[in-house]
Structure 1
Amino acid sequence: MKRLSDEDMEQGFENLKNAFQPTPVQKEKARRLLFQQQPFKRKFHMKSLLPSIVSLIVLFSVGIGLYINIGESGTTNVTTSWDGMLLEQTSQTSPTRYVLSFNGTSLTIEDNFLGSSFMSGKVDKEAYLRSYKIKEPLLTPGTYENYTIEQNGDTFTIKVNGTQGFTYSLEKFGPRRLRGEDGVEFSTRTYLDNPEVITDDITPERLEIAPQNEHTFLIEWGSDSMDRGNHDFESHEHGHLVASTDFNEVKRGQAVYYHMPSSVIAKNPAVPEMYIGRVVGLPGETVEIKGGQVFIDGKMLDTFYGKATTRGFGEEEYFEVTPSSAIADEQATRAYFNMDMPAENVEVNTVFILVDQWWRGYDSREYGPLPIGEIEGVITGTAE
């Protein structure tokens, strides 16, 4: 065994010390760990949040106030504009036939349903009412004073004060159609708002005798699709029709003689290949029917051919002059007078065609806008 000298032992201890000596990086980490200050922890105090809580409460209150004010600002008193208004029940969903008349400061509600007078004491009331969707409508017949009507959007609310007071809301779903909060539907004879209108003071409602020349030809026509109560276009009553080929463009209101689209004839071979209809929508316009009324680009077409008619009669006139025994289905007839059609865009070089008596003929509601090139002539009148 080798003996170590004192120098060898001293050198060994020195080497052992160097092995355990920390590096500069280790020294820096130890220094940071021992001498870096800990972050200060704030104590929570409720008082410090009070200003923020108060601000939130104020903002919330202001928001609620604005919401209420905005809601109320959308409500308008329209009582004056309803003076003289008449609402007639059109739906058969309840055992009532209400008529609401607004005159001055009084509102009169009448129930013109006569079914109860034919009911004997033996009739089971529950069984009788079972056929109706609405068993107990909300309105009570009578005369009420000092009513008000408020409008908010398409909703109209009737308010009657006093011991017999009540409120009743009606929602407009057509230009002249309203639905009560109980589901009973009504129609009016006048429009509830004043939309912009398009008029036609040029087109005559009745055909007159027209001259003939090298640009005209005669038509024999037998359909009543254009009948306005005088068999206007029917040859067996007024002779042949005169059609002119001398036109550069067609105009609104003109009755035209055209080729019926093949798609219609394919569905019904009995439809004539040549047909007559009236130009209602022009190229670039949008045609829509709401509640039986034609609208062009959102404007009401205020003409004799701008709404649903039967032999020239509108809804009110028709039911006034037609005996109830001659009306096979009142609800279906009223639905016709209040029909809807989605907006239709009239493309370039096409026109939108309607017959005068909508329920008796084919037109653009069936086949869409008609290419102008399919028109052979414009009806100018009847031959002498």
Structure 2
Amino acid sequence: MSETEPNDWQKRLRPYAFITGCLAVVLLLALPSVFNGITGSHQTIQDRQTPVALDQMRPTGEMFLFDPMYDNMDRGRHDLMRGAVVDPTYYAQASFNRGDIVYFDGSGVSDRLGLGVSRIVGLPGEKVKVDAGRIYINDRLLDAFYGQAHVRGLDQEAFLQLPDTSNLNVESILEEVYQFSLAELTIPPDTLFVVGDDWLRSLDSLRLGPIPASLVEGKVVGICPGCSDPS
């Protein structure tokens, strides 16, 4: 038998080598999908359902208009300064959801607050923390338009590109807003972690902690521009 001719053992092992090779190829093809799942869905919490802007509508039924006159929810358009449409019956048949804008009595939390609106970011039982202006829920990055620090709808990069910041304390805003951090805390039962969309102008759970869900008196379901203007 020549040196290059396979012996009996080599012949017997050929089928197994072929199967092993096939399994290795399948595993290599599968690994990217596995790791994509880990780095994608398992390390972030996504919200692609909550709209950035509320629909325009007129109140119907038991809905009513509320004029916050406070720009804690400003994303550059002053949408929720006036004419917020509140549905006081919404949570009678629905659960609180991340991304909801709730109408609540802030006087039950701080004497600096009254009736106002803010956005639900964390739910009971969840762990929330903020690291350099980014919100994490249960150690997962909140991948949503409201999951990081904004000032008038601007993230840090856009804020630094403003043409005129002479009337702003840029260093203070960077430190207090875009680099703001909060140690991890667990949201107690029957409470909500609410954050305004404009971190510079909002007094919310970032500073005051979770609010009792019992203080929520409705959900903001839309806006009615002009409805609050005197006729």
Question: Residue 201 of structure 1: which of 40, 48, 58 is its match?
Answer: 48
Aligned ranges 1:97-116 → 2 under 5 Å: none
State the Cα deviation string for residues 273-323 of structure 1 (Å, max 9, x = none).
211110000111011000100000000011111111110111111111242
Q: Does 1:241 align with 2:118?
A: no
Count of residue pairs brought into register by the alignment: 182
% same residue: 29
Report deviation, 1:358: 1.2
Out of 141, 155, 178, which is 1:300 matched to?
141
Stretches of structure 2 lacking an aligned partner (at least 5 in a row): 1-38
Find the partner of 1:258 among 90, 104, 122: 104
Measured against aligned partners, the alpha-carbon deviations of 1:238-279 in whole angstroms (never above 9, x if no partner) come to: xx11111222311100110001144521xx3xx3x2111100
Q: Is the 8 A contact 1:215 1:246 kept in 2?
A: no
Check 1:219–1:295 CA distance in 2 against 1; reply closer, same or farther (3 A cut).
same
**CA shift digits 1:337-361 (9 cap, x unpaired):** 1110111211121110001111212
TM-score between both structures, scaled by the size of structure 1:
0.45
**2:168 is matched with which residue?**
327
Q: In structure 2, what is the Cα distance between the partners aligned to 1:285 and 1:201?
A: 20
Provide the residue aligned with 2:202 in structure 1: 361
- 1:324, 1:209 → 2: CA distance? 32
Structure 1 stretches of 4+ moved >6 Å: none
Matches within 5 A, 1:54-65: none
Deviation at residue 207 of structure 1 after TM alignment:
1.8
* CA deviations over 1:76-134 (Å, ceiling 9, x no partner): xxxxxxxxxxxxxxxxxxxxxxxxxxxxxxxxxxxxxxxxxxxxxxxxxxxxxxxxxxx
Counterpart in 1 of 2:129? Answer: 288
- Which residue identity is paired with 2:205? S
Q: Report what 2:193 is aligned to.
A: 352
CA contact (8 A) 2:195 2:204 kept: yes
* Distance (whole Å) between structure 2 residues aligned to residue 320 and residue 207 of structure 1: 27
Q: TM-score, normalised by structure 2?
A: 0.73
Contact 1:255–1:378 (CA under 8 A) maintained in structure 2: yes
Instruction: Specify which structure has the bigger relative contact order, considering alpha-carbon pairs within 8 angstroms and separated by 6 or more residues.
Output: 2
Higher-strand-fraction structure: 1
8 Å CA contact retained: 1:261, 1:367: no
**Bigger Rg over Cα:** 1
- Residue pairs, 1:134-283, within 5 angstroms: 196-235=43-82, 240-244=83-87, 245-247=89-91, 248-265=94-111, 268=112, 271=113, 273-283=114-124
**What's 2:3 paired with?**
none
Check conservation: 1:292, 1:337, Cα contact below 8 A: yes
Task: Give the corresponding residue for 1:375.
Answer: 216
Q: Note if contact 1:277-1:354 (Cα within 8 Å) is conserved in structure 2.
A: yes
Q: Could you say which residue in structure 2 is the equivalent of 1:134?
A: none
Deviation at 1:210, TM superposition (A): 2.9
CA shift, 1:327, in A, is 3.3
Find the residue that maps to 2:160 and give its secondary structure: helix
Preserved contact between residue 72 and residue 197 of structure 2 (Cα < 8 Å): yes
- Distance in 2 separating the partners of 1:364 and 1:294: 12
Cα distance in 1 between the residues matched to 2:66 and 2:130: 30
Residue aligned with 2:146, SS? coil
Gap regions ≥5 residues in structure 1 = 1-192
Shift of 1:211: 4.9
Alpha-carbon deviation of 1:365? Answer: 2.1
